[in-house]
Amino acid sequence: GFKVRLPEGETFGYTSDTEYFEGVGEAYKGLDALILCSMRPRGAPMKWHMSIDDAIRILEEAKPRQAVLTHFGMRMLFETTPEEEARYVEKVTGVPTQAARDNMKIKIERGKSLTEFFDGG
């Protein structure tokens, strides 16, 4: 994964396709936004890939201001929904969380919430 600091000081990170490991949450501590590649729904771990359970552990350690889930696998898409999993993650962690959508664009601004993310143009 990686972290980026934008010109105005906003920060975001991207986890890439991984599973939870010790120290991963610490690496993303305190960001404005964290994008997590969470392929699997809760209760469905798979070696080398992040499940919602892994995402929760990372968010509890990193404590970003907001989170976006992406990189959904077939079980995430057809046995549940990314939106349902995002609501669950937000409820458990307290971190405002949204499921990514195709062609989604996000605007990261200090002091703004996840609800101000937008689609389109």
Helices (H), strands (E): how many in the chain?
Answer: 4, 8
Residue with tokens 């949204």: 98
Residue 53: its pLDDT value, please?
96
**Domain limits for position 55:** 2-119
Tell me the sheet residues that pair with 84.
none
Number of domains in the chain: 1
Q: Which of 24, 116, 13 is nearest to 70 (CA)?
A: 13
Q: Please identify every stretch of the chain with a pLDDT value under 70, giving residue numbers as ranges.
A: 111-121
Under 8 Å between Cβ of 82 and 72: yes
pLDDT at 121: 44
User: Domain holding 67: CATH number?
Assistant: 3.60.15.10
Q: What's residue 80's pLDDT?
A: 95
pLDDT number for residue 113: 61
